Amino acid sequence: MKTIRTVDSKVIPDIANYPSWWPSSVKIKTLDVSEELVGSCIEVRPFGGQAFRCEVSSANDGDELTMTYSGIYAGTGTWKVSELGEQTLVTYEIDLEIQSTLIRLLSGVLPVSSIHSRLMQDVLAGLERYLGDGAPA
């Protein structure tokens, strides 16, 4: 019996386009991009806020990418991609300790987790727009 066996893949340079996902109120500066992603680093500067860095610490088979935060936060953020029927679910989960004294004080009166969550919803909406505008597939 004749068969067809193929493996097809395409590298999408999303880490390089990461800044385009973010709302204009947050400035993203790409500091380093490595071919294997691990070691790639960005600086994030929210409008009126303090900058912090995120470095890719692990990347697993295109379905999970973990970033290590440093600066005003310490901890990890993990991007997960999973199939959801015919759609794709993209999730970003963080586990951070606030290192900044100012932000620690503000977190006593401001819902810091909710503020970050709203920002990440804007980032995910930016990703959806980026992919909908004909990004490489």
The per-residue pLDDT for range 43-56, each reduced to its tens digit, is 999 888 889 999 99
* Confidence band, pLDDT 50/70/90 cuts, at residue 16: low
Q: CA–CA separation, 38 vs 112, rounded Å?
A: 28
Q: 24 in a domain, yes or no?
A: yes
Q: 9 in a domain, yes or no?
A: no
pTM attached to this predicted model: 0.76
* Confidence band, pLDDT 50/70/90 cuts, at residue 63: confident
Contacts of 17 (CB under 8 A, 6+ apart): 130, 135
Q: What's the domain range around 95?
A: 14-130
**Count of domains observed in the chain:** 1
Q: 136 in a domain, yes or no?
A: no
* Mutual angle of helices 14-21 and 112-132, in 10-degree steps: 120
What pairs with residue 65 in β-bridges?
Answer: 59, 79
The per-residue pLDDT for range 89-126, each reduced to its tens digit, is 888 888 888 888 888 888 889 888 888 888 888 888 88
Q: Please check the confidence at residue 13 and state whether its pLDDT lies above 60.
A: no
Angle at 44 between CA 56 and CA 22, to 5 degrees: 95
Task: For residue 116, give the CATH number of its domain.
Answer: 3.30.530.20
